[in-house]
Structure 1
Amino acid sequence: MAADILASEVANARQRIIRAELAIQRTEKMLAENLAMRTRIRTAVEAAGCLVKIDPPSNEGRRAG
């Protein structure tokens, strides 16, 4: 009886470990995707900043004041 309970508890613990490992893998994948996206966004923002320096927007249509 006690051995059955222990075996059941060990099996449950193994399942929790497997689920936790899968969650960690998914989290690591999401983190890598987010870092890649951040890099692409940062590159785009820097490129836009360079374009504005090369050809600043005109003041046409703006009121001084």
Structure 2
Amino acid sequence: MAPIKKKLLDMVRDKIRLKHYSLKTERSYIGGVKRYIFFHDKKHPIHMGKAEIESFLSWLAAEQNVSPTT
């Protein structure tokens, strides 16, 4: 029987919990990952690179009024 692969968000949660971050921080990080994925039409982050990150960050700053220091 083949091993079951974990989903991306489950892997992110595991790493966050390993570092003992707060639940609020975990929710914030998971929300950010989801926003990034949905911004790129549900494309898996493993298939994206610098250009996609830059376009997402530019969108956050210009369209969502997120502070660049965030």
Is the shorter-chain TM-score for this pair beyond 0.5, marking a shared fold? no
Higher relative contact order (CA 8 A, sep 6+): 2
Larger radius of gyration: 1
Higher helix share: 1
TM-score of the two chains, using structure 1 as the length reference: 0.31
